[in-house]
Structure 1
């Protein structure tokens, strides 16, 4: 999928921009391309948009299952310095979301795990359905901050 296909942008009503993580076959698990695309879109909304609010959601039956470990397998074998440098780039999307001058609402349906929970936590407000589930992933294997900087 291209960057435009993995992050859908629409305006259901004037002033409301919805960003939809669009990898439903992988429960919207994050890839470097998706995180870059999210950061780019948040930058665009901040500087070129008349949006008053941003709604972040996921397509299908999940909000976001965290990092797609299959897609990121090469990154995990780079060694600690390169891994940390990569994560700094991935955290840019979260930093941009936190820094937006407009409110961000995470609309969570289904799992928000690991980095997906970090995205939800970075929003100003979280709205969850009864099917929503939140969980830190890497802390279970003794790594703190590995879920997109969540600690």
Structure 2
């Protein structure tokens, strides 16, 4: 089932239960998907494109919440984090840190990376392999630690 259909089903459930927070987050996903389709003049998006869109939405909300928290505005940060959690349901199962480290180590061995000069090579492959399964910042930090 496509992401758009899954979102529509969840939207109907949110409308029935009168869950405004979930409804707002789901509408944001739907709008982003429609916008991406119109920009690309496509009838359907690939699964990879859908994952990228959802990741972007989650990242936007987490970044906003981080800014609000740095300004001691918990009242604004909480809804952002709640929406991020609702949107993140549509991402593949997230890898934990040890799983990411194992993947990164395998990539470093495969590429034959020896130092920080190979970070770009390793990051390119790691980002591709773990797309949607891990946060880019986490991957970058682990790659940096392994290559240092």
TM-score, normalized by length of structure 2? 0.28
Higher normalized strand content (fraction of residues): 1
Name whichever structure is richer in helix by fraction: 2
The higher radius of gyration belongs to 2
TM-score by length of 1: 0.27
